[in-house]
Every structure is written in structure tokens, then in C-alpha cells.
Structure 1
Amino acid sequence: MISLVRYLAADVLRGQRYLAPLLVFLGVLGMLFAYDPGPQLAAFSGSSALIYPIGAWLAVVVATSEDVVRREVTVVSAGAWSRVLTAVALTAVLFGLAFAVVATVWPVVASPRPYTVLQFLAGLGVHSVSVLLGVGVGLMFARPVLDSIGRTVLVVFTVVVMTYPLGRYTPFGWVLDALGDNQVTLPVLWAGVIGFALVAGAVVVGARRV
């Protein structure tokens, strides 16, 4: 599994399709934290709202990095679609967690306000859960669940956009509400469980689609 994850990660890096979400991510973070972002935990709200769709975007990039023929070769080499889909999920989560670390460190460095260790860990947890939810959404509608990249992008975009107005009725909304209330532990924990379930469910659904 480790070698398969390394192969997929190298393939994504070689294809350079990760550059688009990376540049958007860095550009928006730069604008968000160009000035004092406000109180410590509240400062993570903007970056959490950003990293959720970025996580979905990264998941689609990882899931579609290989064309159909190359993916079939990878499946034959790995021995089963379930192994490949698990590796895709792990790769997408690892890329997402790297983005979560950057999103957490950036305001700590840029803000004139000092952050405690607990506030930093809370920010890391919030960003990790947000990106996990995004990855779950992206994988749930990526190949092989939906074969067309056009349909994948359309459905993922629609789900992500609809998340924001639905607010507190969604796990992602719980995360943002928790930041506003400065009570992040329980809501973020539940949202994280749902994010993990989304990612695992995407693997199961994908394996049954092929």
C-alpha cells in the first residue's frame, strides 16, 4: 500500500495538476492574512472555509490523475480496485493534510497576536477536519463513481457551494460555528468522524461501481 501511495503521489506531482488548487490556496491565504485576521480561533474561519473546497479539488485531481488505460494497468498491478481506491483516498488525504498544516501555520506567523499551543492544535484539527470533509465529497463523485470529469466537477462544485448556505445543518457548518463559539472539541470531533466515513464510503461505493 505504501508503494502504491508513493506511486500515485509521484504521478500527481509529475502531472502538475495540483498547481491550480495550490496557487488558489496560497493566493487566497495571502489575501486573508495580509492584515490582522482578528482573534486567534476566529482567524481560522476564513482559512477553514477555503480549505474545504480545496480538499474536494485535490481529491478530484488525485482520483483522475491517470487516464483510463493507465488506471486499469495500476489496478492489475495492485491486484484489486479496492486497493487502488484506498491508495487514492490516502494520497488525497495526505495532500490535504499538508495544506492543512500550511493553513494553520500561516496565521500563527502572520498575526501580531500570540497563539498558545492549544490554539494552534485546535486550528490544526479544524483545518484537518475541513479538508477531510472536502476530500470525502470529492472522492464520492470522482472516478469510478462518475466516469466523466465534467460531471464530476459539476456535481462536486454544486455540493460544495450548497454547503455554505446550509450552514449549521452540515458537518462543515458545525466546524465554522465551533470556531465562532470558541468551543471546537466536540463539534469538530463529530465532523471528523463524518469526514472519515465519507472517505471510507467513497472507497466502498467506488469499488462496487467497477
Structure 2
Amino acid sequence: MIALMRYLAADVFRGQRFLAPLLVFLGVMGMLFSSDAGQPLEAYSGSAALLYPVTAWLAVVVATSEDAVRREITVVSAGGWPRVLTAAALVAVSASLVLALLAAVWPVVTNPHPYTAGEFFVGLGAHTVCALLGSGVGLMFSRPVFDSIGRTVLAVFAVVVLTYPLGRATPLGWVLDALGHNRISLSVLWAGVFGVALVSAAVAVGVRRT
């Protein structure tokens, strides 16, 4: 599995399509924290909201890095779709968690308000949850569920856009509400469980689709 993950990660890196979501993330983070972003947890709410669509986009990039022919060769060489889908999910989640860590550290360095260790770890947990949710959405609609990249992009875009207006009706809304009101909430924990379940469900749906 490690070798397969390294192969998929190298393929993503070689294709360079990961640069688009990465540059969007870095650019918006730079704008968010170019001046006083507010109190620690409130400041984290902006970067957490950003991380959700970026990690969904990144998951799509990872899941669709190979063309159809090369992916079939990979599936045969790896021993089946379950292994490939699991490896792709692990690569996407790993990359998303790196962004979550960066998003949690960034305001600690740039925001004039001091951060306590507790606030930092709450922010890190919230960003981790948002990263998992985004990865799950991106993987849920990627190959082999939808073979067409156009359908994948439209489905992921629709889900991401519709998530924000629903507020606390969604796990993302639980997290952003907890951060926006400067409170530590069990909602973050439950949303994290939901995020892990969503990633696992995305892999399971992909396996069934094959």
C-alpha cells in the first residue's frame, strides 16, 4: 500500500494540477491574514471555511490524476480497485491534513492576537475536520463513481456551494458556528467522526461502482 501511495503521489506531483488548489489556498490565506483577522477562534473560522472547498478540489485532482487507460493498468498491477481507491483516499487525506496544519499555524505567526495552546489545538482539530469533509466530498464524486471529469466537477461544486447556506444543518456548519462564537463544542468532534465516515463511504461507493 505504501508503494502504491507513493506512486499515486508522484503521479499527482508530476501532473502539477495540484498547483491550482494550492495557489488558491495560499493566495486567500494571505489575504485573510494580511491584517488583524480578529480573535483566535473567529480568525480560524475563515480559514476553516476556505479549507473545505480547497480540499474537495484537491481530492478530485488526486482521484483523477491518471487517464482511464493508465488507471486500469494501475488497478490490475495493484490487485484491484479497492486497493487503488484506498491509496488515493489516503494520499488525498494526507495532502489535506498538511494544508489543515498550515492553516492552523498561519494565524499563530501572523495574527497580532496571542494564541493559547488550547486555542491552537481547537483550531487544528476544526481544520482537520474541514479537510476530511472536503476530501470526502471530492472522493465521493470522482472516478469510478463518475467517469467524466465534467460531471465530477459539477457534482462537487454543487455540494460545496449548497453546504454553506445550510448552516448548522451540516457538519461543516457545526464547526464554523463553534469557531465563530468562540466556543469549544462537541460539534467539532461529531463533525470529525462524520468526516472520517464520509471518506470511508466514498471509498466504499467507489468499490461498489466498479
**TM-score range normalised by the length of the shorter chain:** over 0.9
Distance in 2, matches of 1:183 and 1:78, equals 45
- How far did residue 156 of structure 1 move? 0.4
Name the TM-score, length of structure 1 as normaliser. Answer: 0.98
Q: Larger deviation: 178-187 or 31-40?
A: 178-187
Aligned length: 210
Structure 1 Cα separation of the partners of residues 17 and 184 of structure 2: 33
Q: Is the 8 A contact 1:100 1:131 kept in 2?
A: yes
The alpha carbon displacement at 1:118 in A equals 1.2
Matches of 2:119 and 2:156 in 1, distance apart? Answer: 31
Q: Deviations over 1:43-87 (max 9, x none)?
A: 001100100000100010000000111111111111010010000
The percent of aligned pairs where both chains have the same amino acid is 70
Q: Equivalents in 1 of 2:61, 2:114: separation in Å?
A: 36
Contact 1:43 1:107 in 2 (8 A): yes
Q: How does 1:44-63 map to 2 (within 5 A)?
A: 44-63=44-63
Alignment of 1:1-210 (within 5 A): 1-210=1-210
CA distance, structure 2, for counterparts of residue 37 and residue 182 of structure 1: 14
Deviations 1:161-210 (A, max 9, x none): 00010111000000001112333341111001111111000101101111
TM-score by length of 2: 0.98
Which whole-Å CA distance do the structure 2 matches of 1:2 and 1:44 have between them?
33
Query: Structure 1: where are the runs of 5+ without partners?
Result: none
* Counterpart residue type for residue 57 of structure 1: W
Cα distance in 2, alignment partners of residues 184 and 131 from structure 1: 18
- State the AA in 2 paired with 1:32: L
- Is contact 1:42–1:179 with CA below 8 Å preserved after alignment? yes
Q: Please report how far the alpha carbon of residue 114 of structure 1 lies from its aligned counterpart in structure 2 after TM superposition.
A: 1.1
Q: Secondary structure at the match of 1:103?
A: helix
Residues 4-40 of structure 1 show CA distances to partners (whole Å, capped at 9, x for unaligned) of 1111111111110000001100000000000000001
SS in 2 for 1:47: helix
Measured in 2, the distance between the counterparts of 1:185 and 1:134 equals 20
Looking at structure 2, the residues matched to 86 and 185 of structure 1 have their Cα atoms a distance apart, in angstroms, of: 31
Q: Distance in 2 between matches of 1:156 and 1:194?
A: 18
List structure 1 segments (4+ residues) > 4 angstroms apart after TM superposition. none
SS in 2 for 1:165: coil
Give unmatched runs, 5+ long, in structure 2.
Answer: none
Partner AA of 1:40 in structure 2: P
- Distance in 1 separating the partners of 2:75 and 2:108: 42
